[in-house]
């Protein structure tokens, strides 16, 4: 018996000695606590990642932001499926033996999450295709300051709308019409009169206008109150009395990533984001985040935020309400993740210490006098201890957080316990949907704005509160009117007026013809954008000398540029 005990101990020590680079410390501690047959929730990050330069190049040929979104989602899903194939085969066998349960994929991060025994985790740690195994834990995701305070249903427009000049944007005809805003939070009371008439239509699959990531069902009803209040600040239309929304004609997509106690994890956040993008949202509002987060949580969420940006979607995310308790989470860990992820545009002040980008516009809070709220979390942050290794701090200025600020003190919005009531809340949670509503107004004017354009315009037109970008209030407080005036007019050519082209035969072994009356020139490109062949003025082309595969056919017309795919025989996969 002593020999067996010593052998088990030796293997245990050997395991931890060999897997430090793969198994997160918090997971190690959880494994020490659990029995051998107990399953532990884990998150597995795959090593392999899609070539983002290639993805961006391919997405750049899309004719609209919606088309870009669909392409990126499809490509990342297919990539995750292919790169995870061997691991999923192994997990399926282990699931049949009751050693693993519930494996699910997060395509936005090329990750999986499931529950597994310690022996399984040990075996997985030896795989060469896995970058990191973390603990799928839950924590309080809502950065609350004080409990909500019921207020009257007076017929009024709330002060925050005037503070950011949203009312003046309405006078120009932009009220958010046609823009789908995903509020990823504790759910929404979709029966509240101020939102019930402009909800996302999920059809028979999603009859309650969204999805519950926490419980895995189609009913994202709010059982906490936080999400309903945030949704009202984005698009509450005042039907019940008080006009609370910055974009009162925008469409609400309800996504529940937080339970009734306010708890959730990185998996819930990433799952809510990717479900929203997959089902057609135009922007995301997230008043949630993880404090003192672990490395796997940070890496998972930053991967997801990068994919969301690649899909052409921007996310407004709260900085957090820990600015006054830095003994608990000191700088550079005072900003919650995913607000700690980089913005889609780097301000000139940040270019002193640049790094990679993501979809996140981090939002701080000010009062009605544009004074920073005492609770608003403060930057900078750093990513040097993660797989990304950027934004060094001391030495270095780190990543400046937040990007912008908005009203977040004494904010009146919807009360989830009624269908016609209101309450007050404080927090960067309340500032975030204010900014999201302003983004909805911008997308109302120009639906094809990409995340970098949105972030840049908001920063350049903000009311400056400091000489340079600040780690308390960012570049400044948002100004909806100034932003909308800088948004370029949407000059999209109607589909009926676009040039049309036909390519035949396709696939082909060599020669093909392009039929397009408006064509001025055309060329065959490889998927990385390199010129492979030119097309004659008569529309006749050849793929002679090129290896079998998928190529891009760029057709320039007097009505714009068309991009089609052309396949040379011998290549069966046409997923583009």
- SS3 of residue 455 by DSSP: helix
**Average pLDDT, integer, range 477-503:** 81
Higher confidence at residue 340 or residue 14?
Answer: 340
pLDDT of residue 13: 40
pLDDT of residue 573: 37
- SS3 of residue 337 by DSSP: strand
- Listing DSSP states for 186-238 in one string gives B---TTSTTTTTSB--BTTTBTTSEEETTTTBS----SSSHHHHHHHHHH---
pLDDT of residue 4: 38
Encoded tokens for 390:
């950027």
- Which residue from 157, 242, 272, 246 is spatially nearest to 431, judged by alpha carbons? 246
pLDDT over 80 (residue 98): yes
Residue whose structure tokens are 């993008």? 277
Q: How confident is the model at residue 10 (pLDDT cuts 50, 70, 90)?
A: very low
Higher confidence at residue 561 or residue 120?
Answer: 120
Q: How confident is the model at residue 528 (pLDDT cuts 50, 70, 90)?
A: low
How many Å apart are CA 87 and CA 46, to the nearest integer? 10
User: Is the CB of residue 84 less than 8 Å from the CB of residue 105?
Assistant: yes
Which residues lie across from 148 on neighbouring strands?
none
From the number of C-beta atoms within 10 Å of its C-beta (0-12, 13-18, 19+), residue 371 rates as exposed
Name all domains of the chain by residue range, CATH numbers in brackets.
18-137 (no CATH), 140-486 (3.40.50.200), 495-568 (2.60.40.10)
Residue environment code for 500-539, b if the CB has 16+ CB neighbours within 10 A, otherwise e: ebebeebbbeeebbbebeebeebbbbebeeeeebebeeeb
**Average pLDDT, integer, range 252-267:** 97
Least confident of 67-76, 249-258, 366-375, 493-502: 493-502
pLDDT of residue 249: 98
User: Cα torsion at 514, 518, 521, 526 (round to 10°)?
Assistant: -50
User: Is the CB of residue 210 less than 8 Å from the CB of residue 253?
Assistant: yes
pLDDT of residue 520: 85
pLDDT of residue 571: 37
pLDDT of residue 522: 87
pLDDT of residue 526: 76
pLDDT over 70 (residue 11): no
Residue 324 preceded by cis peptide, ω within 30: no
pLDDT over 50 (residue 306): yes
How many Å apart are CA 415 and CA 420, to the nearest integer? 8
How many Å apart are CA 357 and CA 345, to the nearest integer? 7
pLDDT over 60 (residue 7): no
pLDDT of residue 154: 84
Model pLDDT for residues 356-368, shown as the tens digit of each residue: 999 999 999 999 9
Cβ neighbours of 196 (radius 10 Å): 16
Q: How confident is the model at residue 283 (pLDDT cuts 50, 70, 90)?
A: very high
How many Å apart are CA 503 and CA 31, to the nearest integer? 59
pLDDT of residue 529: 61
pLDDT of residue 179: 98
Residue whose structure tokens are 């009803």? 221
**Average pLDDT, integer, range 43-70:** 91
Q: How big is the CA angle at 300 (ends 299 and 303), to the nearest 5 degrees?
A: 80
How many Å apart are CA 465 and CA 367, to the nearest integer? 13
- Which residue from 157, 122, 210 is spatially nearest to 422, judged by alpha carbons? 157
pTM over 0.95: no
**Average pLDDT, integer, range 155-173:** 97
């Amino acid at each position: 018996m002593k020999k067996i005990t010593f052998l088990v101990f030796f293997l245990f020590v050997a395991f931890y000695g060999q897997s430090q680079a793969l198994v997160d410390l918090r997971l190690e501690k959880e494994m020490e606590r659990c029995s051998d047959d107990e399953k532990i929730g884990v998150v597995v990050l795959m090593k392999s990642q899609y070539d983002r330069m290639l993805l961006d190049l391919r997405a750049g040929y899309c004719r609209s932001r919606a088309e870009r979104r669909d392409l990126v989602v499809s490509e990342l899903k297919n990539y995750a499926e292919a790169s995870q194939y061997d691991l999923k085969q192994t997990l399926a066998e282990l699931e049949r033996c009751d050693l693993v349960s519930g494996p699910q994929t997060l395509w936005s991060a090329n990750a999986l999450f499931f529950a597994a025994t310690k022996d399984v985790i040990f075996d997985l740690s030896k795989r060469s295709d896995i970058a990191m195994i973390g603990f799928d834990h839950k924590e309080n995701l809502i950065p609350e300051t004080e409990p909500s305070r019921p207020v009257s249903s007076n017929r009024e427009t709330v002060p925050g709308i005037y503070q950011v000049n949203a009312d003046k944007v309405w006078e120009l005809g932009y009220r958010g019409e046609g823009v789908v805003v995903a509020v990823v939070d504790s759910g929404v009371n979709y029966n509240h009169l101020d939102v019930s008439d402009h909800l996302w239509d999920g059809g028979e699959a999603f009859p309650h206008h969204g999805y519950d990531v926490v419980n895995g069902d189609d009913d994202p009803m709010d059982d906490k109150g936080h999400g309903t209040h945030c949704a009202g600040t984005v698009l509450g239309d005042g039907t019940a009395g008080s006009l609370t929304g910055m974009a009162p004609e925008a469409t609400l997509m309800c996504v529940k990533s937080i339970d009734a106690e306010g708890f959730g994890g990185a998996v819930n956040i990433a799952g809510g984001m990717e479900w929203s993008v997959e089902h057609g949202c135009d922007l995301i509002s997230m008043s949630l985040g993880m404090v003192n987060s672990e490395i796997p949580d940070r890496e998972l969420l930053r991967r997801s935020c990068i994919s969301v940006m690649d899909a052409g979607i921007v996310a407004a995310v709260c900085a957090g309400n820990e600015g006054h308790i830095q003994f608990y989470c000191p700088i550079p860990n005072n900003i919650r993740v995913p607000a700690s992820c980089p913005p889609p545009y780097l301000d000139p002040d940040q270019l002193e210490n640049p790094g990679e980008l993501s979809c996140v516009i981090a939002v701080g809070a000010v009062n009605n006098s544009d004074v920073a709220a005492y609770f608003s979390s403060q930057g900078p942050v750093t990513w040097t201890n993660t797989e990304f290794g950027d934004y060094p701090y001391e030495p270095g200025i780190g990543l400046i957080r937040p990007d912008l600020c908005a009203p977040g003190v004494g904010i009146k919005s919807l009360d989830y316990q009624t269908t016609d009531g209101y309450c007050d809340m404080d927090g960067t949670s309340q500032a975030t949907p204010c900014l999201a509503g302003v983004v909805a107004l911008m997308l109302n004017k120009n639906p094809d704005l990409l995340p970098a354009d949105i972030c840049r315009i908001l920063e350049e037109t903000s009311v400056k509160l400091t000489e340079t970008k600040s780690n308390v209030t960012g570049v400044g407080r948002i100004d909806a009117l100034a932003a909308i005036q800088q948004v370029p007019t949407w000059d999209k050519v109607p589909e009926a007026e676009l040039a049309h082209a036909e390519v035949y035969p396709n696939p082909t072994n060599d020669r093909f013809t392009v039929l397009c009356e408006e064509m001025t020139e055309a060329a065959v490109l490889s998927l990385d954008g390199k010129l492979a062949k030119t097309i004659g003025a008569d529309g006749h082309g050849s793929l002679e000398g090129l290896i079998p595969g998928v190529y891009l056919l760029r057709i320039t017309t007097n009505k714009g540029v068309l991009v089609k795919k052309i396949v040379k025989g011998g290549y069966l996969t046409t997923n583009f």
